[in-house]
Amino acid sequence: MEVGKSITRVDAFDKVTGRTKYTDDLCDAGAYVAKIVHSTIAHGKVLSVDTSEAEKIEGVVKIVTCFDLGQYRNYFPTAGHPWSTDVSHQDVADRLLLTDEVKFYGDDVAAVIAENEVAANQALRAIKVEYEEYPVVTDVLEAMKDGAPQLHKDYPNNILKHTSISRGNYAEAIKEEGLTVVDRWYNTEPVQHCHIENFICYAYAEGKRITIVASTQIPHIARRVVGQALGIPWGDVKVIKPYIGGGFGNKQDILYEPLCAFLSLQVGGHLVKLDCSREETFFANRTRHGIKFHIISHVRKDGTYAARKIEAFSNQGAYASHGHSIAAKGLGAFPQLYPCDNVEGDAYTVFTNRPVAGAMRGYGIPQAMFAVESHTEDVAKVMGIAPIDFRLKNLMPQGYKDNFSKNENYYDTFRQCIEKGKAYMDYDNRLKELSNQTGRIRTGIGMATFWYNTAVWPISLESSSSRMVLNQDGSVTLQLGETEIGQGADTAFSQMAAEVLGISTDEVHVMSNQDTDITPFGTGAYASRQTYVGGFSIAKTAGLLKQKILDYAYILTNMPPAITDIKNSMIIRTTDNRELISLRDLATEALYSLSDSRHITAESTAQIKSNAYSFGCCFAEVEVDIDMCKAKLTKIINVHDCGKLINPALAKAQVEGGMSMGIGYALSEVQLVDKKTGKVLNDNLLDYKLSTCMDHPHLETAFVENPEPTSPFGTKSLGEPPVCPVAPAIRNAIMNATGVGVNELPLRPEKLYEYFDKAGLLK
């Protein structure tokens, strides 16, 4: 059995010894260097670009401005969503390679191509851009008002999209006698992904074809978008994805692949490299959406919900990118996590003159869980019911089925996860110990649950393809369109293939670097989809390959496939487990036989029309210094039901990484933007307070392994869920310590001061 083992990552040795080649390692030293001229206003029109002085600088090859696009002035989408021939399922095409209509501070208005970085940077400083400035709006609610500055003419009041949900009859339900009403606002702010490897790509042309090598999560999607942006056949585009130093959703967007390809074409197809600086990742890549929530709950005396209402206002920034899908996912979680007969909900995604928001780990659920689980704690407090008792009374029950996704809760998962978390924290005893605290230093304990989907069906296409080749020595080469981005996917894929084939994982050679000319089609790394979705194609392809192997074994052994199998890399007779021939000898004979030579290979596509729930919870203990308005996390655990664990060690690492991101999201991280100018004020890792190991206590993880019935390997999403419940758990622990519910992230000292002062805690 290979599935369920904590085997060493297949890429571990190369990564720890530095042998792994990332995009920059592969780029030839003779590449031209491309640099982007970013706007120094947040909203306006480019009137002119003076490149005369810059063109005189030695080493400058060419300067291209927003007025030089010509045939390449094509609007294209950037979201890394699976494309569909159904127009209603296609993303908003609102980006140009370079623009004269500036919509955020840092928009792309021109580009320099130079022989080296020094010349490129000198040219950037020498270029003079003249603008016509327009008013700026950065707040989501202000942007929706009549008379607010308009960013896109086809979207009145800057509303990209508005969707609603309705169940039962909210208006009638709230008339029920004896209801307690809890009405609160909650706010989350944008943060940045901060992956170690900044976005980088390089491009060159051969004949009529353009090749782009990029640090991307979505090579096949990138191929399509580059074709759309350049207005060329998609087959004329080749995208190669090497190893990636993290992405977390930022690289699930098409960032600069089309521009880099365009710039290469401007210099005759010469190799051009475009490498984002750390500062550029903060303002010119993507951020997590900041979302404001308004939640109203009408609660009966017995602690059950009579009616609930939510409004979400998502700050999209300047361009559509992933757009409304983030707010819509959060809205969809609201009636499912705590089912109620009478629910109303509205979600708005709104353009502002801020950096563009896109996908980030959790895809709207970290924001939604902060609001929903903070509100749940607030309701429990108002009702005088213990927070966990209140949750268990209202959480999604076993047997619940969602009419849209067809997801079903097959187990009593929430109770199982909560019990594990309680046991680790000694929750009940700690609550008693921490009651009635006074003084400056107080300790609190809190928790939060979360809900998550797996993959994107039925909203979008879910498809995965894989190819397997039997090598001369009996080992197997595996290729998938699904991508390794640092999370350990290649190891899980190898284990699953080995499990079906009856060989060991070290006999599976997974191809980590995707090439759209060669690699079977797959949409990439996002939506915590890869182990679940990729598992279908791996199981299907491995089954086909095994059958071909057993068919060939029949020729060599005279034993029919019906009574043979592969076990420990041996062809065996299942009736008595006799070993007939080794897979190594069979493979060698198949390729070199003088009588029946065969290249034994299999390839298949699996379209997946199912989805799966992932659940879990987080418990946190904090120490709050009231006078200093500072919260210190002292103990934390995440408990997850992500189905059957393919590799427990990798699963633990995934959870720890997600918890770390959640801690930063809760306590320190925020992208600060000047409201008047739209400029990002902390576009570096000194001023942007990224959470580090120095800010963490021991990160404890636990799992409830309830196999997912819809999955060939019993697994479901884990990559994104760990970040989702951390911030509300910490917030609720602070409220338990101080009695004050802070409804805005991050929970930094200045925010705690505001709330503590209002509550009269400060003297």
Q: Which residues pair with 37 in a beta bridge?
A: 110
Rg over alpha carbons for the chain, rounded to the nearest Å, is 27
Q: Decide if 371 contacts 295 (C-beta within 8 A).
A: yes
The domain boundary residue, chosen from 230, 245, 275: 275
Residue for token digits 């327009």? 134
What pLDDT does residue 155 have? 98
| Paired tokens of 754 | 């505001």
What pLDDT does residue 376 have? 98
The DSSP secondary-structure symbol of 83 reads P
Flag whether 382 is in a domain.
yes
Flag whether 285 is in a domain.
no
The domain boundary residue, chosen from 548, 573, 607: 607
In a shared domain, residues 596 and 617: no
In a shared domain, residues 406 and 444: yes
In a shared domain, residues 751 and 615: yes
Q: Which residues pair with 599 in a beta bridge?
A: none
What pLDDT does residue 714 have? 97
Domain count, the chain: 3
Edge-to-edge order in the sheet of strand 601-607: 508-510, 476-480, 463-470, 601-607
- Residues belonging to the chain: 763
Flag whether 124 is in a domain.
yes
Cα–Cα distance between 585 and 566 in angstroms, integer? 13
Q: Decide if 353 contacts 138 (C-beta within 8 A).
A: yes
Q: Do the bridges between strand 476-480 and strand 508-510 make them parallel or antiparallel, or are there none, so unpaired? A: parallel
Q: How far is CA 130 from CA 49, 486, 579, in A?
A: 6, 43, 79
Helix axes 530-557, 583-592, angle to 10 degrees: 70
In a shared domain, residues 619 and 574: no
| Paired tokens of 306 | 């009579």
Flag whether 174 is in a domain.
no
What pLDDT does residue 709 have? 97
Count other Cβ atoms within 10 Å, centred on residue 608.
Answer: 22
In a shared domain, residues 444 and 467: no
The domain boundary residue, chosen from 564, 588, 607: 607
Cα–Cα distance between 613 and 399 in angstroms, integer? 12
Q: Which residues pair with 680 in a beta bridge?
A: 673
Burial category of 524 from C-beta neighbours within 10 Å (exposed 0-12, middle 13-18, buried 19 and up): buried
Helix (H, G, I), strand (E, B) or coil at 582: strand
Cα–Cα distance between 752 and 744 in angstroms, integer? 9
The DSSP secondary-structure symbol of 22 reads B
| Paired tokens of 446 | 């809190």
Q: Decide if 198 contacts 281 (C-beta within 8 A).
A: yes
Residues of the chain with pLDDT under 50: none
Cα–Cα distance between 557 and 508 in angstroms, integer? 25
What are the start-end ranges of the E strands in 394-486?
441-452, 463-470, 476-480
Flag whether 5 is in a domain.
no
Nearest Cα to 240, choosing from 592, 512, 625, 567? 512
Nearest Cα to 287, choosing from 367, 347, 186? 367
Cα–Cα distance between 307 and 174 in angstroms, integer? 6
Q: Decide if 684 contacts 278 (C-beta within 8 A).
A: yes
User: For 347-368, b where at least 16 C-beta lie within 10 A, e where not — what string?
Assistant: bbbbbbbbbbbbbbbbbbbbbb
Cα–Cα distance between 526 and 321 in angstroms, integer? 15
Task: Return the CATH number at 623.
Answer: 3.30.365.10
In a shared domain, residues 539 and 566: yes
Helix axes 365-383, 726-738, angle to 10 degrees: 30
Residue 37: domain span = 13-134+199-275
What pLDDT does residue 500 have? 98
Flag whether 163 is in a domain.
no
What pLDDT does residue 442 have? 98
In a shared domain, residues 588 and 628: no
Cα–Cα distance between 343 and 345 in angstroms, integer? 7
| Paired tokens of 273 | 């490299």
| Paired tokens of 477 | 């080469």
Q: Decide if 659 contacts 636 (C-beta within 8 A).
A: yes
Q: Do the bridges between strand 128-133 and strand 44-50 make them parallel or antiparallel, or are there none, so unpaired? A: antiparallel
Amino acid at 138: T
Cα–Cα distance between 516 and 223 in angstroms, integer? 7
In a shared domain, residues 451 and 467: no
In a shared domain, residues 579 and 623: no
In a shared domain, residues 614 and 650: yes
Flag whether 171 is in a domain.
no
Nearest Cα to 15, choosing from 266, 246, 299, 331? 246
In a shared domain, residues 547 and 575: yes
In a shared domain, residues 441 and 475: no
What pLDDT does residue 238 have? 98
Amino acid at 508: V
Number of H helices, E strands in the chain: 20, 27
Residue for token digits 């003076």? 50
Flag whether 76 is in a domain.
yes
Q: How far is CA 531 from CA 487, 497, 535, in A?
A: 11, 12, 6
Count other Cβ atoms within 10 Å, centred on residue 739.
Answer: 13
Task: Return the CATH number at 236.
Answer: 3.90.1170.50
Phi, psi of 317 (to 5 degrees): 80, -155
Cα–Cα distance between 142 and 351 in angstroms, integer? 11
